[in-house]
Amino acid sequence: MGTPHKTTARRFRISGRVQGVGYRYFVYHSAGQLQLRGYVMNLPDGDVEVYAIGDFAQLERLKEKLLQGPGMARVTHLDESAAPVDPDYTLFNIEGG
Protein backbone atom coordinates (compact mmCIF):
# COMPACT_ATOMS: atom_id res chain seq x y z
CA MET A 1 0.00 0.00 0.00
CA GLY A 2 1.47 3.31 -1.07
CA THR A 3 0.58 6.81 -0.06
CA PRO A 4 -2.11 8.51 -2.14
CA HIS A 5 -0.96 10.61 -5.08
CA LYS A 6 -1.28 14.13 -3.73
CA THR A 7 -1.03 16.92 -6.27
CA THR A 8 1.60 19.47 -5.37
CA ALA A 9 3.64 22.13 -7.16
CA ARG A 10 7.33 23.05 -7.25
CA ARG A 11 9.26 25.94 -8.68
CA PHE A 12 12.77 25.22 -9.96
CA ARG A 13 15.44 27.74 -10.95
CA ILE A 14 18.22 26.25 -13.02
CA SER A 15 21.59 27.95 -13.53
CA GLY A 16 24.46 27.21 -15.88
CA ARG A 17 24.56 26.92 -19.66
CA VAL A 18 20.79 26.49 -19.99
CA GLN A 19 19.79 29.06 -22.62
CA GLY A 20 20.38 28.62 -26.33
CA VAL A 21 21.02 24.88 -25.97
CA GLY A 22 17.49 23.44 -26.33
CA TYR A 23 16.93 23.27 -22.57
CA ARG A 24 13.35 24.59 -22.62
CA TYR A 25 12.34 22.09 -25.30
CA PHE A 26 14.02 19.30 -23.34
CA VAL A 27 12.03 20.30 -20.23
CA TYR A 28 8.81 20.62 -22.25
CA HIS A 29 9.26 17.10 -23.66
CA SER A 30 10.24 15.63 -20.26
CA ALA A 31 7.27 17.24 -18.50
CA GLY A 32 4.94 15.93 -21.21
CA GLN A 33 6.24 12.39 -20.73
CA LEU A 34 5.65 12.72 -16.99
CA GLN A 35 2.15 14.20 -17.54
CA LEU A 36 2.94 17.36 -15.58
CA ARG A 37 1.27 20.76 -15.85
CA GLY A 38 2.99 24.15 -15.63
CA TYR A 39 5.62 25.99 -17.67
CA VAL A 40 9.28 26.52 -18.48
CA MET A 41 10.73 29.91 -19.38
CA ASN A 42 14.03 31.71 -19.82
CA LEU A 43 14.84 34.40 -17.26
CA PRO A 44 16.62 37.67 -18.14
CA ASP A 45 19.69 36.75 -16.05
CA GLY A 46 20.38 33.58 -18.07
CA ASP A 47 18.68 31.12 -15.71
CA VAL A 48 15.63 29.02 -16.56
CA GLU A 49 12.51 28.79 -14.40
CA VAL A 50 10.28 25.72 -14.27
CA TYR A 51 6.92 25.61 -12.51
CA ALA A 52 5.51 22.09 -12.39
CA ILE A 53 2.36 20.55 -10.95
CA GLY A 54 2.09 16.82 -10.28
CA ASP A 55 2.59 14.24 -7.58
CA PHE A 56 5.79 13.83 -5.55
CA ALA A 57 7.18 10.97 -7.67
CA GLN A 58 6.57 12.83 -10.95
CA LEU A 59 8.25 15.97 -9.61
CA GLU A 60 11.26 14.00 -8.34
CA ARG A 61 11.69 12.42 -11.78
CA LEU A 62 11.45 15.85 -13.39
CA LYS A 63 14.09 17.19 -11.00
CA GLU A 64 16.48 14.40 -12.08
CA LYS A 65 15.92 15.37 -15.71
CA LEU A 66 16.41 19.09 -14.94
CA LEU A 67 19.80 18.31 -13.42
CA GLN A 68 20.75 16.23 -16.46
CA GLY A 69 19.51 18.53 -19.23
CA PRO A 70 20.07 18.00 -22.95
CA GLY A 71 23.51 17.22 -24.35
CA MET A 72 24.70 20.81 -24.90
CA ALA A 73 23.50 22.11 -21.52
CA ARG A 74 25.60 22.32 -18.38
CA VAL A 75 23.62 22.67 -15.15
CA THR A 76 25.65 24.23 -12.34
CA HIS A 77 22.91 24.88 -9.79
CA LEU A 78 19.27 24.05 -9.13
CA ASP A 79 17.08 25.80 -6.56
CA GLU A 80 13.80 24.13 -5.62
CA SER A 81 10.92 25.58 -3.64
CA ALA A 82 7.32 24.68 -2.86
CA ALA A 83 4.73 26.63 -4.83
CA PRO A 84 0.95 26.91 -4.71
CA VAL A 85 -0.98 24.73 -7.16
CA ASP A 86 -2.40 27.02 -9.88
CA PRO A 87 -5.52 25.31 -11.32
CA ASP A 88 -5.30 27.52 -14.44
CA TYR A 89 -2.47 25.33 -15.76
CA THR A 90 -4.02 22.37 -17.56
CA LEU A 91 -1.03 21.70 -19.84
CA PHE A 92 2.74 22.20 -19.75
CA ASN A 93 3.84 25.23 -21.82
CA ILE A 94 6.95 27.04 -22.96
CA GLU A 95 6.45 30.68 -21.94
CA GLY A 96 8.24 33.86 -22.91
CA GLY A 97 10.43 34.50 -25.96
* Closest alpha carbon to 16 in 73, 91, 89, 97: 73
* Closest alpha carbon to 11 in 44, 33, 39: 39
Is 93 considered catalytic here?
no
Among 10, 24, 61, 74, the active-site one is 24
User: Which amino acid type is present at position 86?
Assistant: D
Among 11, 42, 74, 93, the active-site one is 42
Judge whether 54 and 77 are in contact, CB under 8 Å. Answer: no
Is 37 considered catalytic here?
no
Rounded Cα distance, 30 and 48, in Å: 15
Active-site residues, by number, are 24, 42
